[in-house]
Amino acid sequence: MQRLSFLKLRKLDKNIIVAVVVMVVMLLAFLAGRRPSIYLLLLPLAGIAALVFLARPYSGLFGLVVLSIMPRVSIGTGTEVSLNLVTLLIPALLVMWAIHLLSKHVLTLAPARTNLPLLFFLMASFISLLAGNAMWDPAVPRPANLLIVQFAQWGLFAFSAGAFLLFANVVRDIVWLRRLTFTFLLMAAPFVVLRSFEDIWWSTGHQVSSGAIYAAPFWVCVGALAGGQLVFNRRISSAWRILLAVVVGAIVLYSLQIHEEKVSHWMGITTVIVVLVFLRLSRMRWLFLAVCIIAVLILYPVLYEYAGGDEKWQVSGASRLVLSERVIEMTSRNPVLGLGPASYRHYGFMQSLKYGNAFWLVPNISSHNNYVDIYAQTGVIGLGLFLWFIAEVAWLGWRLRQIYPEGFASGYINGMLAALGAICVIMMFLDWFLPFVYDVGFNGFQASVLVWMFLGGLVSLDAMAQQAHLECNTAS
């Protein structure tokens, strides 16, 4: 009798599901007939993708990697801020991940020292948003859509953290981490090689250009992951070793010769190389670092000319210092909490800006320095929490080097330490790790999110090591 009731219940459930599906399809057909839209037609695909992610959480991470490299698709919002598919996918994956955890009656994060500063940073930036609005200077004009833009800026903070946490908590097997990493490198390789050969790029590659490829974080991420495997993973096959060598060579060519006018590109890749060599050396690493510092001091005039010399400094370098000084000056209104996400742009309109022979009556202020930008939006508290998070990620990577001394994991860990070092450098040269919504915005996020994702893999490896240690103790 119970068996019969169970079968009837299952049949009823199936009938309900079929009825719901039919109703949804009919509703979509009705709406599509009245207001045809490509986005409306994509809704069924989004529903299917959500079901796939619930069943196979790794699939969403592969989708995130693929969309980050694919051509940029801008989605207007009616403001100065435009979205893209990566931006929409991350909150969707976070919701699906939460549903997946709730279905298992578990809603916890992987234990990691990075969790606290990251979550505190999000809380502090949200408090800065509220405080900035509460203490808004009435003399400063306030756009009607400012609150939407501010939430978009906070969303950039939250989505970056979300990408980190997704990788950190969904990846629970080193096999899948390896597959995600090599999928990214395999997809990025054609873009990198084509972009490094300008003639080929402009004739063929420009039509299939990645949305992320113009930003330094993309090159840093690819170079660090490829270089890490090349230098530290002795188990890699010859075919992969050749491919990675080609990718690293193309990145060096692009950054140091073809694109030398972009300081953040060649500074980022140079930092990756220096950190990888530093980590590879065991007994002489500090001597190597000392030699590098001395070489920079001696060769400074040569490096200065290589970077563009006085002409480039007058056009770009000194002007960025003026912008940063103005932003720091404006933030003195509330240095503890900052002016709030996206607020300092509007405070900047209130005072004209002069540099050299140029004069901006109503300047569109952007700090052109990610550290200054974070300080202006979230204050000393927010910047301090962010730096705490960076320090915890660096310490985690350094500690994991002892746990995973060889193989893929070793290449991954050392590569991401190199990427983190490079990111800390290029944040001073405009390239955003936490994009400013009025500058590169969500378009820049398509590149920076790659670094956030793969840094989350360090937490995954730590969780795997803790689980293996626990199982070993249980077995003994």
Q: What is the pLDDT of residue 459?
A: 96
Based on the number of CB atoms within 10 Å of its own CB, is 256 exposed (0-12), middle (13-18) or buried (19 or more)? middle
CA angle 259, 316, 311 (to 5 degrees): 85
Q: What is the pLDDT of residue 192?
A: 87
Q: What is the pLDDT of residue 337?
A: 94
Rounded to 5 degrees, φ, ψ at 87 are -60, -40
Q: What is the pLDDT of residue 1?
A: 43
pLDDT averaged over consecutive 10-residue blocks of the chain (476 residues)?
43 49 51 50 55 68 84 65 78 81 75 94 96 89 87 93 93 92 93 74 52 81 96 92 93 75 81 94 85 82 64 60 82 92 84 65 75 94 97 96 94 97 89 85 87 96 85 69
**CB 163 within 8 Å of CB 450:** no
Using the 8-state DSSP alphabet, how is residue 210 labeled? -
**CB 248 within 8 Å of CB 226:** yes
Using the 8-state DSSP alphabet, how is residue 256 labeled? I
Using alpha carbons, list the distances in angstroms from residue 388 to 119, 120, 136, 232, 430.
11, 10, 28, 28, 21
Is the pTM higher than 0.75? The answer reads yes
Alpha helices in 78-144 (DSSP H): 85-103, 115-134
3 state SS of 427? helix
